[in-house]
Structure 1
């Protein structure tokens, strides 16, 4: 919903792990849950395997990294469209690092490594510079309290 530049989102998180039994101790309960949003397919998720989650399911840490990468990509593509930079491919091999900081486990850093394929004859400096602008536009990166860096590569194809 959009009102005066206010964007609202709603999600329902339903702990589906209860079918495997109640929470009685840290080792035995299921970490699986279901995510639902109106008009979109539901999906199953879990905790990170380090926290006894199912490694076959997405976890909150995965989704944060995906959100940062996707937001940067979408911001970048919009800027390229406005700047007449023809993008033919985009692939990001993003990495995030969590560690203990100030007594709490938290993300310390995310590195986005977009490899952007542009049309032959494209100004590579211009295409690369738009990543800086995309970083400043990315509202997910603007919402986190750790560095989100990017190391783009521009290739023709």
Structure 2
């Protein structure tokens, strides 16, 4: 078993607490021991601060990062030399009746630079093994698809 801890501290008390629905900010800090504090807000669609991370940003980023780390691991084992990796994941959410929202899907769109001569078939196939081991992907209840693009390292 692994334990992951965090400290979430609401920073949005503007003086009256939650006495009025519009009288408080939806901001908080995430503090994990020995790591930089992350300042957060809710989704901008709900009046949040566009300059701060929101829970949806954090979830899709965690999903992408977990996938990337497993991809690099499996690529190394397969002899695929990756020299650069960037992803621009997209999570699709829906808002149901009553305002409750959820993710319905996510697509990871990594661009992966590999050394010349890499077997791109093997490089592509790695993506489809990761959902079996990625902690985050195994924890979400929506489908995750992959649309990788490969570039040759110059």
TM-score, length-scaled by structure 1: 0.90
Change in Cα spacing, 1:135 to 1:11, as seen in structure 2 (3 Å) is same
- Return 5+ residue gaps in structure 1 as ranges: 1-5
Q: 2:130 aligns with which of 134, 145, 157?
A: 134
* Residue equivalent to 1:57: 52
Which moves more between the two structures, 111-120 or 92-101?
92-101
TM-score, length-scaled by structure 2: 0.92
Which moves more between the two structures, 76-85 or 15-24?
15-24
**Where do 1:104-123 residues align within 5 Å?**
104-123=100-119
* Residue 84 of structure 1, CA deviation: 1.3
Q: 1-side partners of 2:24 and 2:68: how far apart? A: 37
* Residue equivalent to 1:13: 8
CA RMSD of aligned residues (A): 1.5
* Residue 51 of structure 1, CA deviation: 1.6
- Return 5+ residue gaps in structure 2 as ranges: none
Q: 1-side partners of 2:96 and 2:135: how far apart? A: 24
* Residue 96 of structure 1, CA deviation: 0.6
Post-superposition CA distance 1:61-91 (Å, at most 9, x none):
0000000000000010011111111001111
